[in-house]
């Protein structure tokens, strides 16, 4: 249960879908900064997509584990206040189960074997033992232990083994004379009677399994010896005959009345609240058991718990547009946004801390925040932030690069013990090795959606280290790009293959008016399948603004 309490405290720091190196490294570094400032470990980096080869290289280079992949951040069952009621054994008596419900102020008890749920018993099930009419063999049908009977009656065992199970025979009250009793008692029966010696002896000789002696009557030594020789259990109780008969059904094990596991609506901790709401409203159960991903019982929730379902807390880095954010972002509590892109239409429920600066990389902003907080930057964190800056600025060649980016990268490189130029080429070399990637994986590895007026535009970009790499990528993407339009509501798509060595981008496009927009935006003609844009390397500062202006015209 502690695991789910910790989950409730967790604040996710997460970048955009199809994450690049800046998105991943900024999430890791900002989580580190927040934990150092707060003196906690509540801030946890996450990722909203799969890592590309360049980012893999960076994390491996600095020995850092990849953040956990989160597909959807909608509230889950684990975010609800789960009531942890300990599971009970199916053999405990109905009476004890009711007492436990009363002491815990619950109406449902889980029945477990180890950590596995085997059934549920509710207050309605308990009521059955009191109000439903059962035949006189219900105790044996339920395989009731004599220990349960002793406990229910507050009895004392005179002879016999109370650990035995009553699994055949009936229950009867010996109100008749001994002659009539001989025709009523069968082998294995439970007989309720008083202090009449003759009746007690008759019941034993008829091979009754158990005698219950009422009103505190003492059993003679002779009867005790005879009972022992017949393997007959004798229980003394202070209750009268009527009370004993009324209490006996309360000795039945709860497993006899429980709803078995295969008839229970059970949820997982990872289920989304939105998905279970409709199911819960259609079912009349008061409580629903919760299991973890391994099928172990965790606790229960009720409908009223849904009213208090907690939103996950998130911090967004390297983006601020809803269509780039992880699925379900509208159902979270956004605490902060740290970004260096244009302002998008993302909405928040409450005011948030929003830091947006016209720099070449989110990593540069976070570097400044470390300085402002007076916190020393460790070599590994420095290496990650430097990698993010090198990646987003294309080793300072991108027009988005500012003096602040260069200054930050140089200081971070010194802490991390790397040469930005040499390390950057190694990093981009690893990222351009796409031989084993499919056309879809390459196309979407750094892909962003933008809403321009009423048109949804998708722009993907991949870096290469020379003409040979460009040709390999082009061979895969030319036949693929036409299949992308319409996928996920995309009206127009562009794909930039950027040669870092020549600072030139080769662009493929598809969709309504895609070619017309390209020609208007850059004043170039298509050469076979490709538009060649010299000195265009930045999607954010060079490509997208020109496309937006052309579309508005």
Q: What is the pLDDT of residues 24-52, one digit of tens each?
A: 999 999 999 999 999 999 999 999 999 98
Cα dihedral 224, 225, 228, 230 sign: negative
CA dist 243 and 262 (Å) reads 36
CA dist 521 and 266 (Å) reads 56
Low-confidence ranges of the chain (pLDDT < 50): 1, 4
CATH number at residue 513: 3.10.310.20
Residue 342, SS3 per DSSP = coil
Q: Are residues 117 and 147 in the same domain?
A: no
User: 409 Cβ partners below 8 Å, 6+ apart?
Assistant: 364, 386, 389, 390, 393, 396, 420
Domain assignment present for residue 103? The answer is yes
- Looking at 413, 431, 449, which one is the last position of a domain? 431
Q: Are residues 52 and 87 in the same domain?
A: no
Q: Are residues 163 and 221 in the same domain?
A: yes
What pLDDT, on a 0 to 100 scale, did the predictor assign at position 1? 45
Give the N- to C-terminal CA distance of the chain in Å, as an integer. 58
Q: Are residues 15 and 89 in the same domain?
A: no
Residue 288, SS3 per DSSP = strand
Domain assignment present for residue 385? The answer is yes
Q: Which of these, 483, 466, 487, 471, lies nearest to 528 by C-alpha position?
A: 471
User: 303 Cβ partners below 8 Å, 6+ apart?
Assistant: 280, 281
Domain assignment present for residue 136? The answer is no
- Looking at 400, 431, 462, which one is the last position of a domain? 431
Domain assignment present for residue 495? The answer is yes
Structure letter (DSSP) for residue 321: -
CA dist 535 and 8 (Å) reads 48
Q: Are residues 460 and 537 in the same domain?
A: yes
Q: Are residues 86 and 71 in the same domain?
A: no
Q: Are residues 247 and 262 in the same domain?
A: no
Q: Are residues 67 and 152 in the same domain?
A: no
- Longest Cα separation, the chain: 117
- Looking at 251, 266, 294, which one is the last position of a domain? 251
Q: Are residues 291 and 205 in the same domain?
A: no
Question: How confident is the model over 481-538, as pLDDT tens digits?
Answer: 999 887 778 899 999 999 988 999 999 999 989 999 999 999 999 998 999 999 999 9
Domain assignment present for residue 134? The answer is no
Domain assignment present for residue 190? The answer is yes
Residue-range definition of the domain harbouring residue 480 = 439-552
pTM: 0.69
Domain assignment present for residue 137? The answer is no
Q: Are residues 294 and 404 in the same domain?
A: no
CATH number at residue 167: 3.40.1390.20
CATH number at residue 110: 3.10.580.10
Domain assignment present for residue 135? The answer is no
Helical pair 21-38 and 362-373, crossing angle rounded to 10 deg: 20
Q: Which two tokens stand for residue 271?
A: 């289920």
Q: Are residues 301 and 323 in the same domain?
A: no
Q: Are residues 211 and 109 in the same domain?
A: no
Domain count of the fold of the chain:
4
């Amino acid at each position: 249960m502690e695991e789910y309490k910790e989950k409730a405290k967790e604040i996710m720091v997460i970048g955009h879908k199809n994450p690049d190196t800046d998105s991943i490294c900024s999430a890791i570094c900002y989580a580190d900064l927040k934990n150092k400032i707060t003196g906690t470990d509540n801030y946890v980096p996450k990722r909203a997509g799969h890592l590309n080869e360049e980012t893999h290289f960076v994390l491996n280079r600095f020995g850092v584990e990849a953040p956990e992949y989160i597909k959807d951040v909608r509230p889950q069952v684990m975010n609800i206040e789960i009531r942890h009621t300990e599971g009970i054994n199916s053999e405990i008596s109905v009476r004890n189960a009711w007492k436990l419900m009363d002491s815990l102020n619950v109406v449902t008890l889980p029945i477990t074997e180890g950590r596995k749920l085997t059934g549920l018993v509710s207050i309605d099930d308990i009521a059955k033992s009191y109000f439903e009419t059962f035949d006189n063999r219900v105790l044996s049908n339920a395989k009731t232990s004599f220990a349960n009977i002793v406990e229910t009656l507050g009895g004392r065992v005179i002879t016999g083994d109370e650990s035995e199970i009553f699994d055949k025979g009936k229950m009867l009250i010996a109100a008749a004379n001994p002659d009539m009793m001989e025709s009523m008692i069968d082998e294995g029966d439970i007989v309720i009677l008083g202090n009449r010696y003759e009746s007690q002896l008759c019941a034993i000789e008829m091979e009754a399994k158990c005698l219950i002696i009422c009103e505190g009557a003492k059993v003679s030594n002779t009867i005790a010896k005879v009972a022992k020789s017949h393997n007959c259990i004798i229980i003394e109780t202070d209750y009268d005959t009527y009370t004993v008969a009324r209490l006996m059904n309360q000795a039945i094990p709860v497993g006899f009345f429980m709803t078995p596991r295969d008839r229970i609506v059970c949820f997982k901790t990872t289920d989304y609240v939105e998905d279970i709401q409709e199911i819960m409203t259609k079912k009349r159960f008061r409580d629903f058991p919760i299991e973890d991903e391994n099928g172990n019982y965790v606790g229960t929730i009720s409908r009223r718990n849904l009213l208090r379902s907690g939103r996950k807390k998130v911090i967004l880095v390297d983006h601020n547009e809803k269509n780039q954010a992880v699925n379900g972002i509208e159902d979270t509590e956004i605490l902060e946004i740290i970004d260096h892109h244009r302002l998008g239409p993302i909405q928040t429920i409450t005011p948030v801390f929003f830091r947006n600066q016209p720099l070449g990389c989110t990593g540069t902003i976070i570097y400044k925040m470390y300085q402002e907080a007076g916190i020393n930057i460790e070599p590994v964190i420095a290496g990650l932030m430097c990698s993010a800056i090198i990646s987003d600025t294309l080793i300072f060649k991108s027009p988005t690069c500012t003096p602040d980016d260069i200054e930050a990268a140089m200081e971070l490189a010194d802490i991390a013990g790397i040469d930005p130029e040499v390390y950057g080429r190694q990093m981009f070399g690893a990222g351009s090795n796409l031989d084993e990637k499919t056309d879809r994986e390459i196309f979407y590895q750094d892909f962003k959606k933008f809403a321009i007026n009423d048109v949804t535009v998708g722009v993907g970009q991949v870096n290469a280290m020379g003409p040979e790499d460009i040709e390999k990528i082009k061979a895969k993407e030319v036949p693929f790009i036409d299949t992308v339009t319409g996928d996920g509501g995309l009206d127009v798509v562009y794909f930039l293959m950027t040669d870092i060595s020549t600072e030139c981008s080769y662009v493929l496009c598809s969709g309504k008016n895609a070619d017309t927009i390209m020609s208007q935006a850059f004043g170039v003609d298509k050469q076979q399948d490709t538009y060649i844009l010299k000195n265009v390397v930045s999607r954010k500062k060079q490509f997208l603004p020109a496309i937006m202006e052309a579309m508005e015209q």
